[in-house]
Structure 1
């Protein structure tokens, strides 16, 4: 079977499965999700063996350390994937939820009910945990899913998909609800771009290059997940101990993810006190600091930040720092460079906090907390399909509700239009 045949065949199977899945009971879907979780844990050694192949390939080919961290699976991470499936199973089933029902003057009762999107194609990079998250969320929301992961994680993705598909089928779900495009050739992605007949939506999850390739080339509707050039602003009225802890967490807790902070903005009134402390802490965490000219005057041996740095999602142990005159200058900087993912202010001043919440245009806006919380699991969604930074259909972490659409239902009693 050639590449195009593989993709189309699996898309057809997914379309057939989606029709059956749309009307399957919550009980059966939850049974399948729990079975998938159990089977993941039972298959830990098999999955880890496959992941070791991917890790060895990644190291041999010079994959950067943050990307290796995203690729790595451990017993704990597999347990986390299984727990995510169990949490999704505990969520209320969105399918069939009546969103509203109104009676018109002519007696017609017109309402809206939540229904699945259908077949969801997901194109993603070296994040094998996405395989389990996507499968669980799609199945719970009544959708079949066609996955296409990156070549760096192909062995891990094959192992995980085989485990999940087998468990779902044995639990009673239709065959074909979870499938992986195994070809790592770019032609497979090009085929998916044009499968309007079988795919209802495409969701890219990865770096800016992947996202733009999908957005610019797909004729299938796209839900765009976002690049995370995230900022934290330390106000003049911030608790500096809190500011230090949040800064270190937002930058270094896990660097290769879209909700990690990439630029730190510091009010000039506290810059001389705060910058030496935080930069020393960051260097202790092996973080390269780049700064504006005002930062360089306060702390020695700081590399100059360029215009490009302010616009860069590093996904690495690199942080750009800028001293600003006030909240308005911080807001102006964020407005210019933000990718509208996650932004934070650290302040004890309620008025400033509220102004920040009101004026910052982003999917998630924080007061006195780390941007690392922008995550479906942390938001109580069980897992996420990605973080949407667009404004149509879905925004922020996308859980089961964001994988549905609505249809109108109308009850009549013989009405005809005059």
Structure 2
């Protein structure tokens, strides 16, 4: 295969399809989504048979049980994929929404309206459900999508794509509005990332290594978050019972997600009584604890942390703990080691709460709530394409509106500039 020629055709076809998809009526897009969901359900056996090829290869290549589990498609997971697509149908279509409208003194009527971004490339790792999730969100917003999954899920991704493509054709949409890269050749990604003449945005989803590789090699704008080093700061004025519940939930509800707590900061005035209690709860749940010297003295058994721990996204049952002398000390620590993802203060003091939300520069800053709420569904968006810690265009959970741009439409009655 000539990979360069293959990718060139993919991006050109996507660009052509994007012009048609951008003006597709909501009813047509919803009909395609409905058909996509139906196709997945009707062809579960085919999807699971193709997925089995990926699972066998994963076992032969020594992937961890956790990775294999993320890769696996079951009837329930396929049904969940289909339900996820149906949920997108019920979301409001943001395309053509009037964001602002003004009439100038000279009579010009200026509208700022929401439009699709164009061609979006999504590069992701092993979970095959991302193929359906990303395709449905991008289609709803009138974008053309190029999906490049990991080699571990190549058979599963292509099988899902076949059902998606069939749905597009059945309702009369351009099948090139959604395409999957069907080669595992690494050069394909390199060529994709240089296709700035045809693609408008790249969204990488996966580990920090994958994301950094995309950012360093792309000539196309990238929206991303490298990692989620999320903090919970237990202030001196915190309610200890509330703090305990929030800390345990932030760490334990799903430790392998980017919005799980990785570092717990505790004010020294509360540390002596609070740390033994919360650390027992963590230890009972098999969490490995790594802490500063002060926390090690308060709770025997905590392993002394090294500097690298403070900036590590563990994505497992490991927690860093630091005793701080003030709210300023906590904010300084977050500024030095955080990833601008999600950070929490637990306090009953309104002045400290305001100081924290004003000074912590993260995509999501909480007062008295778990970090685990940084999620498109929990934010009321219905679904998300990912979470951004960037500051341009999109920040935080990215729902349908974040997959759009805008343009100005100006209506006149013959005005000329003097």
Smaller-chain TM-score bracket? over 0.9
Aligned residues: 418
Provide the rounded CA distance (Å) in 2 between the counterparts of 1:300 and 1:125: 39
The range that moved more, 223-232 or 60-69, is 60-69
Provide the rounded CA distance (Å) in 1 between the counterparts of 2:69 and 2:354: 36
Match of 2:173 in 1: 173
Match of 1:219 in 2: 219
Shift of 1:325: 1.6
Match of 2:280 in 1: 280
Match of 1:136 in 2: 136
Q: Secondary structure at the match of 2:175?
A: coil
Any conservation in 2 of the 1:254–1:260 contact (CA below 8 Å)?
yes
Shift of 1:305: 0.8
Shift of 1:65: 5.1
Cα distance change on mapping 1:241 and 1:55 into 2, 3 Å: farther
Pairing of 1:80-229 with structure 2 (within 5 A): 80-229=80-229
Shift of 1:194: 0.8
Provide the rounded CA distance (Å) in 1 between the counterparts of 2:317 and 2:66: 8
Match of 1:71 in 2: 71
Cα distance change on mapping 1:106 and 1:222 into 2, 3 Å: same
Provide the rounded CA distance (Å) in 1 between the counterparts of 2:57 and 2:224: 29
Match of 2:264 in 1: 264
Provide the rounded CA distance (Å) in 2 between the counterparts of 1:238 and 1:66: 36
Q: Deviations over 1:267-288 (max 9, x none)?
A: 2222222222322322232221
Query: 5+ unaligned residues in a row in structure 1: which ranges?
Result: none
The range that moved more, 209-218 or 163-172, is 163-172
Provide the rounded CA distance (Å) in 1 between the counterparts of 2:184 and 2:222: 21
* TM-score between the two structures when normalised by the length of structure 2: 0.94
Query: 5+ unaligned residues in a row in structure 2: which ranges?
Result: none
Provide the rounded CA distance (Å) in 1 between the counterparts of 2:55 and 2:10: 27
Cα distance change on mapping 1:68 and 1:112 into 2, 3 Å: same
* TM-score between the two structures when normalised by the length of structure 1: 0.94
Match of 2:387 in 1: 387
The range that moved more, 345-354 or 334-343, is 345-354
Cα distance change on mapping 1:361 and 1:75 into 2, 3 Å: farther
Shift of 1:153: 2.2
Match of 2:44 in 1: 44
Q: Deviations over 1:323-365 (max 9, x none)?
A: 1122221111111111101111222333322222222111111
The range that moved more, 224-233 or 274-283, is 274-283
Pairing of 1:228-243 with structure 2 (within 5 A): 228-243=228-243
Q: Deviations over 1:372-397 (max 9, x none)?
A: 22111222222211101011111111
The range that moved more, 32-41 or 13-22, is 32-41
Q: Deviations over 1:28-47 (max 9, x none)?
A: 11122222223323333433
Shift of 1:66: 4.8
Q: Secondary structure at the match of 1:365?
A: strand
Q: Deviations over 1:269-321 (max 9, x none)?
A: 22222222322322232221111111111222222111101011111221111
Any conservation in 2 of the 1:203–1:225 contact (CA below 8 Å)?
no
Q: Secondary structure at the match of 1:194?
A: coil
Q: Secondary structure at the match of 1:176?
A: helix
Match of 1:5 in 2: 5
Any conservation in 1 of the 2:57–2:152 contact (CA below 8 Å)?
yes
Match of 2:407 in 1: 407
CA RMSD of aligned residues (A): 2.0
Q: Secondary structure at the match of 2:393?
A: coil
Q: Secondary structure at the match of 1:382?
A: coil
Provide the rounded CA distance (Å) in 2 between the counterparts of 1:346 and 1:67: 34
Provide the rounded CA distance (Å) in 2 between the counterparts of 1:336 and 1:403: 31
Cα distance change on mapping 1:406 and 1:170 into 2, 3 Å: same
The range that moved more, 401-410 or 344-353, is 344-353
Match of 1:359 in 2: 359
Pair 1:300 & 2:262 matched: no
Match of 1:323 in 2: 323
Cα distance change on mapping 1:322 and 1:61 into 2, 3 Å: farther
Shift of 1:203: 1.2
Provide the rounded CA distance (Å) in 1 between the counterparts of 2:218 and 2:401: 24
Q: Secondary structure at the match of 1:375?
A: coil
Any conservation in 2 of the 1:84–1:382 contact (CA below 8 Å)?
no
Shift of 1:52: 4.1
